[in-house]
Amino acid sequence: MENIKSETCRNGVEASLEIIVGKWKPIILLHLLHGGTQRFGEMKRLLPNITQKMLTAQLRELEEQDIIERKVYAEVPPKVEYSITEYGRSLYGILQQMHEWGVSHMEHMAKKNSR
């Protein structure tokens, strides 16, 4: 407990949310955190329902925010690799905590709805 006051705070929490929120970002981050470097096509295969447009858009945003790194190889056919940056890795704690809380929350709600 401390200086997490409503106003300042709001900005901090929202800045974090900006990174991890969205239909695809959490799973993109987790795949990169767990699976390491991946090519565009691999990622697309891992997210069967995402469109190319969405995948590119999400990756570009994460790159802009220094969370992931994009490495283009000058080959034909093209090859582009994505990986988590060291900085991006600092998100792991938050994701971990959200994961744990979320899993127990799902149990909580399941219990509630079975009453």
Residues contributing to the site for its own copies (CB under 8 A)? 1, 4-6, 8-17, 19-21, 26-27, 30-31, 34-35, 46, 65-66, 87, 90-103, 105-106, 108-109, 112
Give 12 or 78: the residue with its C-beta nearer to DNA: 78
- The residues, ordered by sequence, that sit 6+ positions from 33 with a Cβ below 8 Å of its Cβ are 84, 89, 92, 95
Contact in structure between 62 and 84 (CB atoms under 8 Å): no
Give 3 or 76: the residue with its C-beta nearer to its own copies: 3
Residue 63 touches which of its own copies, DNA, none (Cβ within 5-8 Å per kind): none
CB of 75 to its own copies, least distance (A): 28
Give 78 or 104: the residue with its C-beta nearer to its own copies: 104
Task: Find the length of the chain.
Answer: 115
Give 20 or 33: the residue with its C-beta nearer to DNA: 20
Contact in structure between 46 and 34 (CB atoms under 8 Å): no
Q: Which two tokens stand for residue 54?
A: 């969405």
With binding defined as CB under 7 A, does residue 65 bind DNA? no
Q: What value does the CA radius of gyration of the chain take, rounded to a whole number of Å? A: 17
With binding defined as CB under 7 A, does residue 10 bind DNA? no
Ordered strands of the 79-84 beta sheet: 38-39, 79-84, 68-73
